[in-house]
């Protein structure tokens, strides 16, 4: 069995306020190297909090989080940031590409906080962009691209540093269905190449096309299909990333 | 596996906000540029003016002394003995001596049709023919009095006097109506820095004044040059030499002292204008703080993204501090250039030496960066303290 890259044990997250909100109420989950996992659930079920805790963007109120075998609870801000820079890749619903930087520079930014030289950053970024089918868009400004292309740029930025896990928070949420299909296809292909990917989605079609589903409800895991085979044809067929038509 | 940001990358990251919002950057740096330009300009112009005065002092020499009658014991106007110039000439270190005498009741007009009240404050003075040499004065036009012309109704006008009378050159014989007689203008003086009273004077020869204007020949000012190393010694004995009977009635002065005092006096104006520049700089700092605070609010998602990419709190804080420093640094640089340009234009248009003190340049840049650092500190701290999830939640 492959090594675990993300481990959560009895993780709870409570947001102080009036009244306090229990976003996660004891979540235990292990994600292993090379897995493709969909985390599903309705709005307010705690999906985003879960991905933030997994991505060390937020500390849990209680419980243990291990990323690539390292317990993050005692880590300083500097160490956590290092972990994000080297071990974790993020894809967001809103893409978060920086205007004023070219597509290439946006992707190269994925390596910025590793103190990699600029030339090396750029050459790795070119490779990542070619990998997601945007090798001809290197000098473009992000605002000149379609939504699907922008998300591809964001995915290239997440994979450029070969992180242990890629966390994609509603990656198709801002896209039309064709682009969404293509993006999921791309993520699936990246998974086929051995990358560990966690996709947060409330889209059942996408979730159904992914083998392992973890369903959250009110801050608890109510279903985990680890080991079950769930393959939905439409997304398999649409997995022709790198092809235009978005 | 630590998160690290190299210095060149910090610079790139810090300049991103400026590159993507150019107009805003330009406008918020403007306040600082105006402040720094004012400070550099004031320091530059005052340094240039001082350099000019010092150069003028050098050229004119500090060895000119003047002897004039002061006040008599009873408060009445004293007079210099007729023999004063001759006696002064016999003092060892004295090099040259020339005198002028105010011709009382003589006035000069452009024509004989002008009412007597419109004299324009021009005084008529009898002058020794070597006056020019003693004063180091020069002529704009024509010639000075010589032993021949000093005998006849010929006049040399001071610079302001010529301007008042509307005479711009002495190429063609022009006559002025002086003391009820027609005198021919033979020359016009350049402004005389060490004897400004001559600028508003019409100078005639001693013999002519006596012959045509009923002048009694009394000297009212004696100018003398001494050995530059013995100015103080000569100054000490001048009163007794000029009027042995009443040395207390003699006023001795050194005109270059006035110029030297003017050099010192300029500091007072300078500090006033620097104060105004500092106020502009402060306003510029507030503008930068405002811009940076807005930037932190607007770019929350960028902050969130950077935190997700591995930036530490310190990296985010430094990014915004760098941006603020770049903004103020650019403003400062523009201000220094603008201030230097203003100095150059002003100094050249006044025919001064252009001096932009290095101290003004460095202190201008340093104060711009200081303002930027202080203005950027709070926004940078705000940005650094933003938690990644707070920052990402904004869109």
- CATH of residue A164's domain is 3.40.50.300
Q: Of the residues B255, B276, B297, which one is the last residue of a structural domain?
A: B255
The radius of gyration computed from the CA coordinates of chain A, to the nearest angstrom, equals 17
Q: Is residue B191 part of a domain?
A: yes
Whole-number average pLDDT of chain A = 88
Q: Of the ranges A153-167, A206-220, B127-141, B367-381, which one carries the lowest mean pLDDT score?
A: B127-141
Same domain, B29 and B107: no
Looking at the structure, tell me whether residues B380 and B282 fall in a common domain.
yes
Q: Distance from CA of residue A147 to its chain's centroid? A: 17
Q: Do B302 and A98 touch (CB under 8 A)?
A: yes
* B266 and B352, same domain (yes or no): yes
Helix, strand, or coil here: A235? helix
Write the CB contacts of B123 (distance below 8 Å, at least 6 apart in sequence): B102, B103, B197, B200, B201, B202
CA dist A60 and B215 (Å) reads 109
- Please work out, in degrees rounded to the nearest 5, the angle formed at the alpha carbon of residue B244 by the alpha carbons of B243 and B245: 95
Using a CB–CB cut-off of 8 Å, the residues of A that contact B are 52, 55, 57-58, 77-79, 81-88, 90, 92, 94, 96, 98-101, 109-110, 112-115, 118, 157
- B230 and B270 inside one domain: no
Residue A230 lies in a domain: yes
Contact predicate A137/A113, CB 8 Å: no
User: Does a structural domain hold residue A25?
Assistant: no
Is residue A67 in some structural domain? Answer: no
- For residue A223, give its domain range: 36-56+76-237
Within-domain flag for B3 = no
Q: Are B230 and B112 part of one and the same domain?
A: yes
Residues of A in contact with B392 (CB under 8 A): 52, 57, 92, 96
Residue B246 falls inside a structural domain: yes
Of the residues B229, B255, B281, the one at which a domain ends: B255
Whether residue B213 is found in the same domain as residue B306: no
pLDDT at A234: 41
Residue B253 tokens, joined = 């002065």
Give me the pLDDT at residue B266, please: 66
What number is the ipTM of this complex? 0.89
Radius of gyration of chain B (CA): 33
Residues of B in contact with A85 (CB under 8 A): 1, 3, 309-310
Averaged over successive runs of 10 residues, the pLDDT of chain B (395 residues) comes to 90 90 89 90 86 77 82 75 82 86 85 79 88 86 88 90 82 84 89 86 89 85 85 82 80 78 70 82 90 91 94 96 94 94 92 87 92 95 92 73
How far apart CA B238 and CA B248 sit, in angstroms, is 11
Residues B350 and B294 in one domain: yes
Answer whether residue A141 is part of any domain: yes
Residue B94 three-state SS: strand
Residues B243 and B122 in one domain: yes
B5 in a structural domain: no
Query: DSSP E strands: which ranges in chain B?
Result: 64-69, 94-102, 108-109, 123-127, 139-142, 154-157, 174-178, 181-189, 201-205, 221-226, 250-253
Element (H, E) at A51: helix A47-54
> Cβ A87–B1 below 8 Å, yes or no?
yes
Give the pLDDT confidence score for residue B280 in this predicted structure: 84
**Interatomic CA distance for residues B19 and B238, integer angstroms:** 72
Band of the pLDDT at A30, cuts 50, 70, 90?
Answer: very high
Domain-embedded: residue A244: no
Kindly list the residues from chain B whose CB atom is less than 8 angstroms away from the CB atom of residue A58. Answer: 387-389
CB spacing of A96 vs B310 below 8 angstroms = no
Whether B160 is in a domain gets the answer yes
Element (H, E) at B280: helix B256-298
Across B22-54, b (16+ Cβ under 10 Å) vs e yields: eeebeebbbbbbbbbbbbbbbbbbbbbbbbbbe
Residue B285 sits in the same domain as residue B385: yes
Do A79 and B2 make contact, defined as CB atoms within 8 angstroms? Answer: yes
Give me the number of domains chain B comprises: 2
Q: How far apart are CA B9 and CA A119, in angstroms?
A: 12
Whether the full predicted model's pTM is greater than 0.90, yes or no, is no
In chain A, which residue's Cα lies nearest the Cα of B309? Answer: A85
Q: Is residue A121 part of a domain?
A: yes
Of B20, B313, B315, the CB nearest to A113: B315
Is the residue at A154 inside a domain? yes
Is A84 within 8 Å of B307 when comparing Cβ atoms?
Answer: yes
Cβ contact A106:A153 at 8 Å: yes
Report d(CA B371, CA B363) in Å as an integer. Answer: 12
Domain total for chain A?
1
Confidence class for position A231, pLDDT limits 50, 70, 90: very low
Is residue B353 within 8 Å of B48, Cβ to Cβ?
Answer: yes
CB B28 within 8 A of CB B288: yes
Note the pLDDT of residue B350: 86
Least confident of A27-31, A83-87, A238-242: A238-242
d(CA B381, CA B377): 6
pLDDT at A141 over 80: yes
* Nearest residue of chain A to residue B303 (CA atoms): A96
Residue of A nearest to B389 (CA): A57
- Residue-range definition of the domain harbouring residue B33: 10-58+260-392
Q: B177 by DSSP, 3-state: which?
A: strand
Task: Give the end of a domain, one of B255, B282, B297.
Answer: B255
Q: What is the pLDDT of residue A233?
A: 38
Q: What is the pLDDT of residue B214?
A: 85
- Predicted confidence band of residue A106 (pLDDT cuts 50, 70, 90): very high
* B228 lies in the same domain as B371: no
> Does the residue A49 lie in any domain?
yes
Distance CA A76, CA A46 (A): 25
Indicate whether B53 and B71 sit together in one domain: no
Q: Is residue B274 part of a domain?
A: yes
A187 CA: distance to closest CA in chain B (Å): 19
Q: Is residue A244's pLDDT more than 50?
A: no
Task: Calculate the dihedral angle through the C-alpha atoms of B142, B145, B149, B153, rounding to the nearest 10 degrees.
Answer: 90
In 10 A of CB B362, how many CB atoms? 11
Chain B nearest CA to A44, separation (Å): 14
CA-based nearest distance A131→chain B, Å: 20
């Amino acid at each position: 069995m492959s090594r675990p890259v993300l481990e959560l044990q009895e993780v709870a997250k409570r947001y102080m306020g009036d009244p306090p909100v229990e976003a996660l109420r004891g979540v235990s989950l292990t994600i292993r190297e090379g897995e493709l996992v969909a985390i599903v659930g309705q709005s307010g079920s705690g999906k985003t909090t879960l991905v933030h805790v997994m991505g060390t963007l937020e500390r849990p109120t209680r419980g243990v989080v291990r990323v690539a075998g390292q317990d993050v609870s005692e880590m300083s801000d500097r160490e956590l940031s290092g972990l994000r820079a080297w071990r974790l890749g993020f894809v967001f619903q809103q893409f978060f590409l920086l205007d004023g930087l070219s597509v290439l520079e946006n992707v190269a930014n994925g390596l910025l906080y590793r103190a990699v030289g600029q030339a090396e950053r750029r050459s790795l970024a070119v490779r990542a962009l070619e990998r997601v089918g945007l090798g001809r868009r290197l000098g473009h400004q992000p605002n000149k691209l379609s939504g699907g292309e922008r998300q591809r740029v964001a995915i290239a930025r997440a994979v450029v540093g070969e992180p242990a896990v890629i966390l994609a928070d509603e990656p198709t949420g801002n896209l039309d269905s064709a682009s969404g299909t293509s993006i999921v296809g791309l993520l699936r292909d990246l998974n086929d190449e051995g990358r560990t990917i966690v996709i947060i989605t409330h889209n059942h079609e996408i979730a159904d096309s992914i083998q392992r589903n973890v369903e959250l409800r009110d801050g608890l895991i109510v279903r985990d299909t680890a080991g079950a085979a769930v393959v939905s044809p439409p997304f398999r067929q649409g997995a022709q990333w790198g092809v235009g038509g978005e | 596996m630590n998160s690290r940001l190299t210095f060149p990358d910090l610079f790139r990251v810090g300049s991103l906000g400026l590159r993507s919002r150019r107009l805003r950057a330009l406008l918020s740096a403007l306040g600082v540029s105006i402040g720094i330009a004012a400070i550099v300009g004031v320091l530059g112009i005052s340094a240039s003016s001082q350099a000019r005065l010092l150069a003028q002092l050098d050229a004119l020499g500090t060895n000119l002394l003047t002897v004039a009658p002061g006040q008599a014991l009873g408060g009445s106007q004293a007079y210099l003995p007729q023999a004063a110039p001759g006696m002064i000439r016999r003092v060892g270190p004295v090099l040259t001596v020339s005198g002028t005498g105010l011709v009382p009741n003589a006035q000069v007009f452009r024509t004989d049709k002008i009412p007597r009240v419109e004299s324009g404050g021009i005084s008529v003075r009898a002058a020794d023919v070597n006056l020019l040499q003693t004063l180091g004065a020069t002529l704009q036009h024509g010639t000075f009095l010589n032993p021949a012309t000093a005998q006849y109704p010929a006049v040399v006008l001071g610079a302001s006097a010529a301007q008042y009378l509307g005479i711009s050159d002495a190429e063609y014989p022009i006559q002025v109506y002086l003391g009820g007689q027609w005198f021919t203008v033979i020359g016009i003086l350049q402004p005389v820095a060490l004897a400004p009273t001559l600028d508003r004077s019409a100078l005639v020869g001693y013999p002519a004044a006596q012959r045509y204007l009923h002048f009694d020949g009394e000297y009212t000012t004696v100018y003398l040059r001494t050995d530059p190393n013995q100015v103080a010694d000569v100054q000490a004995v001048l009163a007794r030499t000029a009027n042995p009977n009443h040395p207390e009635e003699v006023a001795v002065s050194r005109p270059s002292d006035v110029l030297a005092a003017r050099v010192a006096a300029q500091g007072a104006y300078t500090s006033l204008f620097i104060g105004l520049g500092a106020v502009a700089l402060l306003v510029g700092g507030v503008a930068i703080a405002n811009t940076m605070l807005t930037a932190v609010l607007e770019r929350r998602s960028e902050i969130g993204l950077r935190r997700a990419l591995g930036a530490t709190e310190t990296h985010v804080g430094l990014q915004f501090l760098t941006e603020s420093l770049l903004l103020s640094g650019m403003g400062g640089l523009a201000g220094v250039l603008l201030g230097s340009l203003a100095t150059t234009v002003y100094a050249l248009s006044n025919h001064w030496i252009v001096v932009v003190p290095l101290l003004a340049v460095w202190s201008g840049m340093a104060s711009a960066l200081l303002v930027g650092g202080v203005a950027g500190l709070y926004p940078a701290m705000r940005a650094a303290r933003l938690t990644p999830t707070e920052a990402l939640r904004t869109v």
